[in-house]
Structure 1
């Protein structure tokens, strides 16, 4: 509000409230995605790792694609104007800074969940769908045979639903 006072503006009560919300929001960060303490279906692997592998893809030792990149997290960047519009509406219609950041976090989370569910991604490999034996070349003592049980969905990123359901946002307050 110092800027308004510096240039001689006398704000309305609504203007003062909006400036107060903006001041509160200036030190807030909203992180959307997966946290290190979230576990995947095997209860050992971090869900953040699974999200990373699926977002960026992975390679076999020979350089061929193991998991194709499916950049679902980029939806925030792809739809940044839509999220900015939503943020403006939240700022002008909600009364507290907490309600504004929760609305924005919830919207960003929904955008990622919708991308996982609705986007057209590189298809799953037949062994991913049908299951079977394959060699895991990244075993602790060298290549080891592993059995893939197959997935209940042919759609990439959708099997147990854990990746979509466990996307979350975290609000961090304090100096940037």
Structure 2
């Protein structure tokens, strides 16, 4: 034999490999980012979301973020697999991660609106005129967002 055959990458193969490498380094974070949304009262929406998610001394936990993932795990996995298929058709890592972000953001917003949580306290019902938790002005639902960052990185 004269020599070993060398692998030859097509332009499409090189692009695909580069996008896979980008996916290995990036992640989508869904939820709230510190300082992005501040209420009229000067409170960071990240804090409000955390208080609702985990509960406080005065309010029960209403885990809308965890439930949006836990209750939709199969749907999320299927969606992510479908997005990876789009990578083979020329989509970029960023485009795929944006689609995952939009999809996941929608799941969180849906859980805020339709989730079954402990009702508001009587004093809160009097003030809000509703026993539905997590919905008052709609700001928490509207403030859910996503960012794409390097794995292990900060915003």
Question: Do the structures match in fold with TM over 0.5?
Answer: yes
Q: Does 1:27 align with 2:25?
A: yes
Tell me the equivalent position of 1:166. Answer: 143
Equivalent pairs, count: 144
| Greater share of residues in strand | 1
CA contact (8 A) 2:37 2:143 kept: no
Cα RMSD of the aligned pairs, angstroms, is 2.4
Alignment of 1:95-110 (within 5 A): 95-110=91-106
* Structure-to-structure mapping, 1:55-66, within 5 angstroms: 55-59=53-57, 66=58
1:89 aligns with 2:66: no
Deviations 1:6-26 (A, max 9, x none): xx9877776654433221111
Q: How far, CA to CA, are the matches of 2:35 and 2:106 in structure 1? A: 21
Runs of at least 4 residues of structure 1 off by over 4 A?
Answer: 8-17
Q: Which has the higher contact order (CA 8 A, sep 6+)?
A: 2
Find the residue that maps to 2:147 and give its secondary structure. strand
**Cα distance change, pair 9–111 in 1 and its aligned pair in 2 (3 A):** farther
Segment of structure 1 superposing worse, 88-97 or 108-117: 88-97
* Contact residue 34 and residue 51 of structure 1 kept, 8 A: yes
Structural mapping, 1:61-140, within 5 Å:
66-74=58-66, 75-93=68-86, 95-130=91-126
In the superposition, the TM-score normalised over structure 2's length comes to 0.81
1:174 CA displacement: 6.2
TM-score, normalised by the number of residues in structure 1: 0.72
Distance 2:13 2:76 in 1: 23
Report the equivalent of 2:128: 151
> For 1:1-55, what per-residue CA distance to the aligned partner results, in whole angstroms no more than 9, with x for missing partners?
xxxxxxx987777665443322111100211111110344334111111001101
